[in-house]
Amino acid sequence: MNLHEGFRRRIRIESDPNNLIGRRVIITDVETGEEIANVLKAVITLDAREYNGVELTYAETDSEGKIIIRDDDIVRKTLRLNFPEVAVTAEENW
């Protein structure tokens, strides 16, 4: 499944705690369980006094699901979703 500007459902963001590399992060639609394939970046805001949210940068796709490229660069869009499910693992790195 690909993210698009009309998407308004909840998502789940998780990764394997043994492999925290960005490309191993999985973002899925909570309702369908389908993985969302075209996300390029996710910025998560967790604020104890406000609502939680995620700002997703994604590659725009055409009607066939192919990534749109203009001037040799991916066409990027941004979407904000509230109340994502987040499985967070953090490591102490010094």
Q: 17: pLDDT confidence band, cut at 50, 70 and 90?
A: confident
Answer whether 0.75 is exceeded by the pTM: yes
Residue 68, both tokens: 């749109």
The reported pLDDT for the residue numbered 20 is 67
CA pair distance 81, 56, nearest whole angstrom: 8
Please determine, for residue 34, whether its predicted confidence score (pLDDT) is greater than 90. yes
Provide the token pair at 81: 């979703």
Domain ranges of the chain: 11-86
- Other Cβ atoms closer than 10 A to 51: 9
